[in-house]
Amino acid sequence: MLFTTKTHRFFFLLGLALSLCALPYSPFALSVGLITLAVNWLLGGFWVDKINRFINRKTLWAFLLVYLSIIIGFFYSDNINYALKELRLWLPLLFIPVILTTSEPLKREEFKFLLLMFCLSVFVATIISFSIYLREFSIGSQNVRAISPYVSHIRLSLMILFSIFILSYSTFTNKFLSSYLVKSILFIVTLWFITFLFILQSITGIAILGIVSLFLAIRWISSVKDIVLKFCIIVGLSLLVLVGVSYLTHTVDRYFTRNKVDFKNLPKTTPNGNLYTQDTISKQYENGNLVWINICYPELKREWNRVSKFSFDSKDADGQRVELTLIRYLTSKGIRKDSVGIAQLDSIDVQLIERGVASIIYRDHKIGIYPRFYQIMWEIDSYLTRGLVGGSSLVQRYVFFKASWHVIKNHFLFGVGTGDGADFLNEYYRSSGINLEPEYWAISHNEFLTIWIASGLFGLFLFLVGLFYPFFSEKKYKIFLCLVFQIIVVASMLNEDTFETHIGVSFAALFYSILFFSYDFNDNKQE
Distance of CA 445 to the CA centre of its chain: 11
Is the backbone of residue 431 left (phi > 0), alpha (psi -120 to 50) or beta? alpha
Q: What is the pLDDT of residues 336-380, one digit of tens each?
A: 999 999 999 999 999 999 988 989 998 888 777 888 888 888 888
What integer pLDDT is reported at residue 395 of this predicted model?
80
pTM: 0.88
Q: Which residues contact 237 (CB under 8 A, 6 or more apart)?
A: 214, 217, 218, 221
DSSP 285: E
What integer pLDDT is reported at residue 392 of this predicted model?
64
CA dist 24 and 147 (Å) reads: 13
What integer pLDDT is reported at residue 527 of this predicted model?
43
Q: What is the pLDDT of residues 188-231, one digit of tens each?
A: 999 999 999 988 888 888 889 988 988 888 888 877 777 887 88
What integer pLDDT is reported at residue 174 of this predicted model?
65
What integer pLDDT is reported at residue 171 of this predicted model?
83
362-367: long-range contacts (C-beta < 8 A, 24 or more apart)? 362/140, 362/141, 362/142, 363/139, 363/140, 364/140, 366/137, 366/138, 366/139, 366/140, 367/198, 367/199
- Weakly modelled stretches of the chain, pLDDT under 70: 1-2, 174-178, 389-392, 440, 523-527
Nearest 5 degrees, angle CA 109-CA 112-CA 113? 85
What integer pLDDT is reported at residue 526 of this predicted model?
45
CA dist 132 and 136 (Å) reads: 6
Q: Tell me which amino acid residue 13 is.
A: L
Residue 503: CB atoms within 10 A of its CB come to: 22
Residue 509 near residue 92 (C-beta atoms within 8 A): yes
Instruction: Please list the residues that pair with 285 across neighbouring strands.
Output: 290
What integer pLDDT is reported at residue 175 of this predicted model?
62
What integer pLDDT is reported at residue 65 of this predicted model?
95
What integer pLDDT is reported at residue 525 of this predicted model?
52
